[in-house]
Structure 1
Amino acid sequence: MHANVPFAGLALTTACVDFWGQLVNDYETIVKRHPKNVARRIQAGIPDRLRGMVWQLISHALDPELEMVYSELLKRESSHEKVIRLDLPRTFPNHEYFRDKDGAGQNALYNVVRAYSLFDQEVGYCQGIPFIVGPLLIHMAEDEAFCTLVRLMQFYNLRGHYTPSMEDLHMRLYQFEKLLEVHHPDLSRHLNAQGIQTTMYASQWYMTFFAYKFPLSMVYRIIDIIFAEGVESLHRFAVALMRANRARLLLLNFEDLLTFLKNGLFDIYQSQEVKLVQDATNVKVTAKQLDQWACEYHQEARRLASEQSIIDSLRRECKRLEADLRRSEKQVAEMSEEQCQIASQLVQERVKLEDAMAREKALQEENLNLQKQLDDEREKGDERVKDQLDELIGWKSRLMMENAELEGQVKELETQVVATKMQLCMAEAEKMELQAAVGR
């Protein structure tokens, strides 16, 4: 227990002091020998100054090794630190131990909640957890509160209230609905007719042990019963609240009904924790009923999970088909755009083809004209060649005649040369004869 936290305390009789002293000193023996007396004493309320120790004894939370684990966890960082810091001022803001920012209470609350977020990383941090840790810290030290929280989570099946799927929370809300049907069917029908579901108003009851609304003195009494009888005892307090407010609830419609369930439901027990515990004790809840409804819930949960699996599979298939459709639409759009481009190119090519055909036709006509001109030129050329050939033949004939004449002249000249040479020889002979004659 934190030394600076005041308590009203209980006026204890000698017999009461003796009982609690014996229980603290030898818990296991006293519980085995006097279980009904222990239950009755706990229902009457554990003395404030012994409450923290008794809670630890009942839950077997005294664990030095786990306290060492806590010391090690304090040295580590948690990914949830920021959101834990944000939630701390909203946890018991009016209680003197927790109301000061960076005060001893908020620091202790921060340490325990942060350490648990590291200890159980599947749960991590959930907003309801500080409301469980706060009452523990008021009655015990940080490391003891951590160990007790771990026991509540593990051995009292409180953990399933804070896992991502909150499977045990939903199961207990289902059990509460069934209890309401059994104990107050008219109220159950009225809530159903107004569209009010337990998840709209009762989740916080089971996640905080009613600590988010009830004064802590009343919460301590509720936690006494929870440690002694289990988290299932919350059902009796929930039904007792509904029973005490039944007449008022039956008169309200949806909006006023939901507002009253969240805020006004607790006023009837203001400062009357003894009456609350008595009324809750009078609510009959059997383990057989709870087990049956738990079985029903899990069967329904499996069926819904199977259906959900099918739905998820269909959704995935639908998403795949939608993705295929989007791809097909994109392809169609691209093909349409490509078709438009091809059509545009086709028009352009047709224009080019028509231009080419026109040019070809013009070229063909020009070719015909040129061919005609060529033929005409050929005809004219043939006549010119014939004239030139005739002229050449005539020229050749004349040349041959001239050559014949020249040959005749050459022969005549050759004859003359021969005759001249003979005359020259004869003249030389005569000259030599004359020279000879002269010489003689």
Structure 2
Amino acid sequence: MSDDDSDRDDSIDSEQMKTDRYGFQGGSQLENCSDDTVVGRVGMRRERKWVSMTNDLKSWKRWMRWRHKKVIERCRKGIPSSVRGKAWQFLSGSYEIQKKHEGEFDKLLSQKVDESVMRDIKKDIGRAFPYHEMFSKNGGPGQRELLRILQAYSVHNPSIGYCQAMAPIGALLLMHMTTEDAFWCFVTVCEKYLSGFFSPGLEAIQLEGQVFYALLQRHAPAVREHLDKLNIEPLMFMTEWYMCAFARTLPWSLVLRVWDLLFIENVKIIHKVAIATIKLTFDSKEKLDSSSSMHDTLRRLKNLPAEIFVNNALLREANDISITDKDLEREYKAIQNSETTIN
């Protein structure tokens, strides 16, 4: 090999090992997305506001009681990266839960874990985000800390133990906070925001899939008709979207914005993003016609077109979709009534 070839290879290796601002090697989780991170004076001003709000639990409770709408408004604008971890802890309630359970994390880690559960966890921790600098090295610090979170949770909630989709969620949280902080935030995510999603049998995911299709009928009837015509069930493509709250699906800057909203909207934001994804992916008759088979349609949904991420189109579309708590209650009740009638 010539010196020129060697130089070229070194250049390629160097390019592949570059780490982006989120810690992903060789570029972000997905490319072709506009990063709308606010910098300069506006960014610094927003950061100061969040630092003030999350200064202590007393300040935070005062904000949530008297200026809750302002907190929601600031979440919608995006939480500054420097305070995102602490903000998520306050928004989720995990900060207060952790204070009430001091020492509990270490106690959980000291308990014996089922061998099959540990085997599954160890098998998955390297797969969560293999190109992120924290988790790319087998047995490295990031993987070890992720193992501790998942191990502790399997003891904390033995009825669930461990589910494959948990690893990306634990890893995402670990990117923004210490291991113990991430564990308690993980607990609140699994038991409050994604409640039932990891239970054996995936009953909760099946229910959310039915709700998703009902909402899709209202917001994108042509696409819903297309999916029905091809006998495409929601679980054929939306399982990872919901179980990982899009952490494995979207460009990373969008993942973080969705999670900023998850802590104020709960599952509503997942439904909104899912519907927006469908609408933008099939936003014309030509695109529907070009996906005339089950295979073509599912391939398009599993390899989302880059243009739907440009200029924050996906998030803007999601925020324009109106879904209320009453809407969800009505759909849950309708599904329950239909199942009762069938039985």
TM-score range, shorter chain: 0.7 to 0.9
Q: How does 1:176-255 map to 2 (within 5 A)?
A: 176-246=212-282, 247=284, 248-252=287-291, 253-255=293-295
* Aligned-pair CA distance for 1:165: 3.0
Confirm or deny that 1:49 pairs with 2:89: no
State how far apart, in whole Å, the 2-side matches of 1:84 and 1:271 are: 35
Name the CA shift for 1:249/1:107 in 2 (closer, same or farther; >3 Å): farther
TM-score with structure 2 setting the length: 0.81
State how far apart, in whole Å, the 2-side matches of 1:302 and 1:151 are: 31
Deviations 1:199-238 (A, max 9, x none): 1000110001112222332211111100111122100000
**After alignment, is 158-167 or 64-73 more displaced?**
64-73
Amino acid at match of 1:16: R
Residue matched to 1:30 = 63
User: Which 4+ residue blocks in structure 1 deviate beyond 6 angstroms?
Assistant: none
TM-score with structure 1 setting the length: 0.64
Q: How does 1:1-400 map to 2 (within 5 A)?
A: 7=22, 10-11=38-39, 12-13=41-42, 15-25=45-55, 26-62=59-95, 63-79=98-114, 80-156=117-193, 158-246=194-282, 247=284, 248-252=287-291, 253-263=293-303, 265=304, 267-270=306-309, 272=311, 274-302=312-340, 306=343
Deviations 1:300-337 (A, max 9, x none): 34556x4xxxxxxxxxxxxxxxxxxxxxxxxxxxxxxx
- RMSD, aligned α-carbons: 2.1
State how far apart, in whole Å, the 2-side matches of 1:51 and 1:217 are: 12
* Aligned-pair CA distance for 1:34: 2.5
Question: Whose RCO is larger (CA < 8 A, sep 6+)?
Answer: 2
Deviations 1:70-126 (A, max 9, x none): 111112232200111111121111111111111111111111011111111111111
Residue matched to 1:372 = none
**Percent of pairs identical after alignment?**
28
Amino acid at match of 1:111: R
State how far apart, in whole Å, the 1-side matches of 2:252 and 2:171 are: 9
Name the CA shift for 1:251/1:67 in 2 (closer, same or farther; >3 Å): farther
Residues 66 and 147, structure 1, Cα contact 8 Å, conserved in 2: no
Residues 213 and 266, structure 1, Cα contact 8 Å, conserved in 2: no
Give the total of aligned pairs: 299
State how far apart, in whole Å, the 1-side matches of 2:276 and 2:67 are: 28
Amino acid at match of 1:33: W
Secondary structure in structure 2 of the residue aligned to 1:91: coil
Structure 1 unaligned regions, length at least 5:
307-440
Residues 91 and 130, structure 1, Cα contact 8 Å, conserved in 2: yes
Structure in which a larger fraction of residues adopt helix: 1
Amino acid at match of 1:291: E
